[in-house]
Amino acid sequence: MTQLTENQTSENKLYWVSENIIADTFPPVSSALSDPDGLLAIGGDLSPARLISAYKSGIFPWYSKGQPVLWWSPDPRCILLPGDMHISKSLGKTLKSGRYQVTFNKAFNSVIRHCAAPRNGNPETWITDEIINAYTELNRMRHILSVETWFEDEIVGGLYGLRIGDVFFGESMFSHMRDASKVALATVSDYLKSDGCQLIDCQIHSKHLQRLGAKLVKRKHFINKLKIYCDVPKGVNNDF
């Protein structure tokens, strides 16, 4: 996570999202910094209206405990097309084995708290209590899709994100057993394709996501697709 300096917040004149300004007043994403890549705005809150407006504009929050809310729109953007996930031979065997059971929207609270847990000995997490509370409210409003991977009645992997129209904005995933998060992603990718979803936003590129089939697209192209796909009047179906 980036460490902001006083010069970065003043010389670059980043837009401060005031607590009293509605979410659609985000600046154009073209004004985001290139270093750190995609930093667009600072401040504001995590109200449902602001979050939904941000995602529809290609913006997402990402910050550490003790920082103000930082809003990002990196260029290029990492995406995965529903149904295009790369299935390796080993993952294919796992999927066919029936070792895991997968559910949707059955244990969101467990998924987000597992995602928030420290990893690889690093105690820092961007999924703070503030983030958990905000996305729990979005879940109550039926904007969240969570995917749970189970082994012998224990949750061992999963992911969550927002479904807005025909776009799924992935937020985080976790795995406590081999392939558990990959099984969740493969399952939701196929489901989203069958349900008419056109795009899975992976936000930031990683070699792990690339191996799974994710690719980079120019931010301008990504934003143009959001303008088309986010306007479809479709929410999350909790009746799985």
Q: What pLDDT was estimated at residue 87? A: 96
Q: What pLDDT was estimated at residue 46? A: 92
Q: What pLDDT was estimated at residue 215? A: 96
* Under 8 Å between Cβ of 27 and 15: yes
Class of domain 6-75: alpha beta
Q: What angle do CA 103, 104, 106 make, to 5 degrees?
A: 85
For residue 144, list its beta bridge partners. 162
**Strand order in 15-16's β-sheet?**
15-16, 39-42, 70-72, 60-61
Q: What pLDDT was estimated at residue 239? A: 40
In a structure prediction context, what are the per-residue pLDDT tens digits for the chain, which is 240 residues long? 444 444 444 333 345 443 334 445 688 898 888 888 898 888 888 999 989 999 999 999 999 888 888 999 999 999 999 999 999 999 999 999 999 999 999 999 999 999 999 877 676 788 999 999 999 999 999 999 999 999 999 999 999 999 999 999 999 999 999 999 999 999 999 999 999 999 999 999 999 999 999 999 999 999 999 999 998 765 554 443
Span(s) in the chain for CATH 3.40.630.70: 78-229
Q: What pLDDT was estimated at residue 171? A: 97
Span(s) in the chain for CATH 3.30.70.3550: 6-75
**Cβ count near 27 (within 10 Å):** 17
C-alpha to C-alpha distance for 115 and 174, rounded to whole angstroms: 5
Tell me: cis bond preceding 233? Omega within 30 of 0 counts: no
The DSSP code for 166 is T
Query: Tell me, which fold does domain 78-229 have in CATH?
Result: Aminopeptidase (3.40.630)
